[in-house]
Structures are given as structure tokens and as C-alpha cells.
């Protein structure tokens, strides 16, 4: 005869998406910052007040299935949290993560704002798919520049086609080196439109 557990084993798990809206002061202007957080809540209740009986073997099997699902959900959550740090299109830091990393820097640094002018013309003339391709290639180029330089750099998305660049230096030679590489990146991006 199978042993039975008096009560009911209830597993509840759900994902809660919370959107927080902040208004932040930046260079004298109010900037709306929207932060989406995903909370994974997992609740396991064991109640003994129900009149039902659960086969102990079935309860163990359910727990095993639940453990596998839990591992998959943890992988999903880690992926989502990483995506909150990186812009999924350009693969550079989001503005929020850029700011967090910049706050950890000690000493002086140089900050640039890159605006891909007339970018809306690319979307209008060639379609959003080609525009996304340009942003993806531009982000890859920024990451490649970062790997090739001796000075520490940060890159992030400020807006749709606006990017932030921070150089952990005020040295003129370091700044010129980054500017030259950014100028070359502009040429690479334009070449992708001719494909």
C-alpha cells in the first residue's frame, strides 16, 4: 500500500513585471527614465487543512518536474536581466547601466554624445530592417573599438539613434585615438548601406 500525505501540496510560480518611472535631472533638464524590472516569485505552500489525500510518490514526481522548470526559469531570468543591461539591438549598455558603470569610475573622464544624424531617412528610404542593421553594426563597431584601445571606455545607448561614449581619460592622445576610430566607424556604417 502506498504511503499517503494528508494535505495538499500546492506550487505557485509567476513572473511579475514592474515598470518604474523616474524623472531624473540631467544637465538641467528633466529626463524620463523608465525601468522595467522582472521579479520572479515562487511560492510553495504545503497545507494540511484540505481533506484530499495526495499520493506521496506523485508529490515527489511533481517536485522533480517543478525543480526542472525552476532551473529553466532561472536561466530565463538571468537572460532577461542581462538584456536589461545591454540594448538588444546595438549590444551596448543601456543608458541606465551606462550610468551605473560610469559612477564606479574614479578620477576624470571625457564624455561624448553621438547622434546618428538623419537616421530617420535611412528608416524611411530603406526600411526599418536596414535601419536596425545599421544600429547593430554601429554597436558592434563600438564594441570592437573598446577591445582595441588601451584606455578604458564605456559605450551606451542614450536614445534610439543616440549613443554615449565615455573615455576614462582626459589625455589628449587618448581622446584623439577614440575620435579617429569613431570616424572610421562612420565609414564602415555607410558602406553597409551599399550592400
Identify the domain boundary among 85, 116, 131.
Answer: 85
Say if residue 133 is in the same domain as residue 181: yes
95 CB-near residues (< 8 Å, 6+ apart)? 33, 156, 157, 158, 164
Identify the domain boundary among 67, 85, 103.
Answer: 85
Say if residue 118 is in the same domain as residue 71: no
- Which domain range does residue 42 map to? 4-85
Distance CA 78, CA 96 (A): 18
Ranges of residues in the chain with a pLDDT under 70 are: 1-83, 150-151, 186-195
Distance CA 147, CA 121 (A): 31
Is residue 90 assigned to a domain?
no
Say if residue 122 is in the same domain as residue 76: no
Q: What does pTM read for this prediction?
A: 0.55
Say if residue 81 is in the same domain as residue 100: no
Identify the domain boundary among 61, 85, 109.
Answer: 85
Say if residue 59 is in the same domain as residue 23: yes
25 CB-near residues (< 8 Å, 6+ apart)? 31
Per-residue pLDDT at 12: 40
Report which of 16, 95, 3 is spatially closest to residue 58, judged by C-alpha positions: 3
Say if residue 68 is in the same domain as residue 28: yes
Per-residue pLDDT at 11: 40
H or E element that contains 163: strand 162-167
pLDDT (tens digit per residue) in 146-159: 888 766 888 888 88
Per-residue pLDDT at 170: 80
Say if residue 170 is in the same domain as residue 121: yes
Number of domains in the chain: 2
Per-residue pLDDT at 96: 84
Amino acid at each position: 500500500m502506498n504511503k499517503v500525505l494528508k494535505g495538499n501540496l500546492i506550487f505557485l510560480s509567476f513572473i511579475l513585471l514592474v515598470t518604474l518611472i523616474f524623472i531624473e535631472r540631467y544637465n538641467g533638464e528633466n529626463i524620463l527614465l523608465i525601468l522595467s524590472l522582472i521579479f520572479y516569485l515562487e511560492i510553495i505552500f504545503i497545507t494540511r487543512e484540505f481533506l484530499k489525500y495526495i499520493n506521496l510518490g506523485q508529490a515527489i514526481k511533481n517536485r522533480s518536474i517543478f525543480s526542472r522548470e525552476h532551473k529553466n526559469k532561472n536561466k530565463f531570468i538571468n537572460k532577461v536581466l542581462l538584456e536589461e543591461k545591454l540594448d538588444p539591438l546595438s549590444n551596448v549598455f543601456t543608458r541606465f547601466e551606462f550610468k551605473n558603470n560610469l559612477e564606479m569610475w574614479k578620477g576624470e573622464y571625457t564624455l561624448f554624445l553621438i547622434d546618428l544624424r538623419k537616421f530617420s531617412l535611412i528608416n524611411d528610404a530603406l526600411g526599418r530592417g536596414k535601419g536596425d542593421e545599421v544600429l547593430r553594426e554601429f554597436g558592434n563597431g563600438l564594441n570592437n573599438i573598446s577591445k582595441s584601445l588601451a584606455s578604458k571606455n564605456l559605450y551606451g545607448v542614450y536614445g534610439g539613434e543616440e549613443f554615449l561614449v565615455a573615455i576614462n581619460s582626459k589625455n589628449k592622445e587618448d581622446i584623439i585615438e577614440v575620435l579617429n576610430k569613431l570616424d572610421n566607424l562612420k565609414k564602415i556604417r555607410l558602406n553597409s548601406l551599399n550592400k
